[in-house]
Structures are given as structure tokens and as C-alpha cells.
Structure 1
Amino acid sequence: MTDGHPEDDAAPPRRSRRDETRAALLTAAERLWAEHGIHGASLDDIAAAAGLTKGAVYSNFAGKTDLLLALMERFTSDPSPTDVCDELRAAEQDADPEGRCSARTTPDDRARQLALLLVEFWLYGMRDYAAGWRIADWYAERRAHLASQLAPTDDLAPGDRAILTMALDLGLAFQHLLDPDRVPTNLYKTGKNLVQGHPRP
């Protein structure tokens, strides 16, 4: 207990200056890369957006790829990230007793930003070997988690159905964000039932 200030014992520890600097750079990189692309926003741009100097970038990250991998790591370690597919899953929860879900046609701005960022990660990973492996690992972790929730069937293993489900999730989410009127969310439940089958009891 701290003398005269017992409430101090319950206060969470403050982040170090270095942690705060890294977090500011990662947040700035996420926004700028989503808006302008990884090749459209330099490290100078990211430093300026975070209110820091370029030296702060290089004191925390070896370069652009290292910064990108750190941002991917933040996505991976976040226990409850906003997902580009959240809107699809929310529409599924609106399903009526017949299994039909509402057709939402107003994409969420946060989902759109994340979709743009994921596309940038994917493109960068296709061109950069080190980044590509880390991004592939990120997808593999998500597929493994999904597969653990699916029961095996006679015709398709859970791992294979997880691959197809993720393809449906991301592909439909990206199409909906680009063209919400002609790619409505009410296709999600139908597609998922075709690919996933029944969830593990």
C-alpha cells in the first residue's frame, strides 16, 4: 500500500515511454497504410502523423518491414480485434426463424479500414519473403482456431473447411465493402452453411 494513497495500489502500471512511442507509431502506420497503401506512406509520413521524428521510427523498428510485422503481431495478439467480417456475423445473428438474415447495406468505416489494411498486408507479403511468412502464419493461426470448432465430416476435414470458410469470410466481406448494394450481407449465412456444415456440439 502506498502511504496516504491506497488507491495507487489498484492503478494499472503506466506504459514506458518506449511502449507509448511504439504504440503511437503503430497506430499511425495502421491509419496511413489503410488510407494510402504501404508504398504510399513513407516512414517520414508515419513519424509525422504520430507527432514524432523519423529517428523515433528507427530507434524502435529496423525499417518498414519490421514495422509492418510488428503491426501484424499486434493484430495477432489482440484477443478481441475488430474484424472485417463482424458485419457479416452481426447480420447472421439477426436471422429470423426461417434462417434468413437481414441485408445490411451500410458498411462500417472501421471494417473498411481493416479490409484495406489486410489487402495491403497481403500484397506486401506477396512481394516480401519475410513479411509473407509472418502473414501466412497469421492466417494459419486463425484457420487452426476455426478448425478446432468444427466437427469432422465424411467428405471434408475440419482444416479444409476452415480454409474454405476463411475464403468465404474475407471474399464476401471485401465484395460487400466495395459493393454493398449488390453483395448484401444476407448471403453470408447461406454460404457458411454450405461450407462449414454444423458446428461442434
Structure 2
Amino acid sequence: MATQDQRRAETRTRLIDAAADLFARKGFHAVSAEAVAEAADRTTGALYNHFGGKEGLLLALLEVWKDQTAADLLAGFEEITEIDDRLAALFDVLTSDHGDRGASWLLLELELWLHGARDPAIGEPLARRYAGIRARLAEGLADWADTAGVPLRRSPERTATAVLGVLIGCAVQHRLDPAVVEREAVVESLRDLLNL
């Protein structure tokens, strides 16, 4: 028999998974707390108990998504030795099906951005999340440049911002028209940014 902590963790996971799917497909504002609870086979009271409401659920989802995306980006990355393959792998993570998350991750990211742009309570944590991603990427780029002996044209921080912009911008375009945004073109753009 499951413990109370295990049941709480399962409820939390089910609510977050249901929210991820519904928010990505329908948009944050079009989905009620009741719809999320129903999709998770839980009560609305459970949603409020765990997250305080739909906004709290969105913030929790943001944290889970950050961790999952980082894990996806890092999985197997160290084993890839060729720079073009590494750059392609970064783009592939942003455009692949992501296993059980399906292709909804990009839709959810865009939904988070839209909601964050309109609501500082979501926008501020989202901005901090991206600052952390840029900082980790900048650190990795600086280490890579030192190891490879390839000086970056710009500071690691500015390079990280540009790399993230290319990856996400191309992923957004790829979502709408995959044939137009080829991974080779993305790799070429990243090579230019990295002074290769």
C-alpha cells in the first residue's frame, strides 16, 4: 500500500502532467482548474491544496519543465565528439518528440512566455529560469572555447544569448514548417556564432 507521501507525489505528478498537456494544446487561459483536475482524475481541491491555484500549478510546471529540458539537453551530450554533431544535437532536443512529452514542449514554452509577458508573477520566475540557462550555457561555451582553442567573437554571456535565440527561434519556425528549417542551416548559424 502506498504511503501518504507517495500518494501526494503521485497526485502532484498527475496534475502537472495534465496541466502540461492541456496548457500546451489549449492555452493557459482557456483551461480551467476544474479541467486540469478532471484530466488528472483528481479533485479541484487537490489542485488548490498542492499548488494554491492554476498560477501556482503553472509555476510548478515551469520548474519541472526546466529540469526535464536540461536533462534532455545533457543526456548523451558528452559522448558526442564532433562539434557539428553536438550543435545538431542541441537543435534535435528542441525539435524532437521528447518521449512521453510528445511535441507539446515547444507549445508549452510559448504558452509560458505569453503568460509571463502578461503577468509579472509568472514572467519574473521565467526570466530567472532563462538567466540560469544562459549562465550555464555561457559557462559551457567558455570551457569549450578554452579546451578547443577557439576564441569566441563575443563574451560567453552574449554568445549564449545568441545561441539560445537561434535555437529557440529556429525551433519555433521548425514547428510550423519543418521542411524549411533544416538542421544543417541551424548548425551553420551556430558555427558562425561560435567563430568556427
TM-score by length of 2: 0.77
Match of 1:178 among 176, 179, 184: 176
8 A contact 2:28–2:111 mirrored in 1: yes
Aligned pairs for 1:163-174 within 5 A: 163-174=161-172
Q: Say whether residues 1:93 and 2:85 are aligned partners.
A: yes
Unaligned regions of 5+ residues in structure 2, if any? Answer: 74-79, 146-150
1:75 aligns with 2:65: yes
Q: Tell me the equivalent position of 2:76.
A: none
Give the superposition deviation at 1:80.
4.9
Residue 56 (1) aligns with residue 46 (2): yes
Query: What's the % identity of the aligned pairs?
Result: 35
Distance 1:64 1:14, change over 3 A: closer
Change (3 A) 1:154 1:183: closer
The answer to whether the 8 A contact 1:75-1:81 is kept is: no
**1:47-101 deviation per Cα after TM superposition (whole angstroms, max 9, x unaligned):** 0000011111111111111111111111233485446xxxxx9xx5299xxxx99
Partner of 1:44: 34
1:66 and 2:56 matched: yes
Q: Deviations over 1:105-155 (max 9, x none)?
A: xx6444631000000000000011111011111111111111012237474
The question of whether the paired residues in 2 share the 8 Å contact of 1:176 and 1:185 is answered with no
Question: Residue 23 of structure 2: which of 19, 26, 33 is its match?
Answer: 33
* Deviation by residue 1:150-188 (Cα, 9 ceiling, x = unmatched): 237474100000000000010011111210112222211
Computing the radius of gyration over CA atoms, which structure comes out larger, 1 or 2?
1
Tell me if structure 1 keeps the 8 A contact 2:166–2:190: yes
**2:132 maps to which residue?**
141
Query: Relative to 1, partners in 2 of residues 1:81 and 1:29: Cα closer, same or farther, differing over 3 Å?
Result: farther
Q: CA RMSD in A?
A: 2.8
**What is the TM-score of this pair, normalised by structure 1?**
0.75
CA distance, structure 2, for counterparts of residue 139 and residue 94 of structure 1: 21
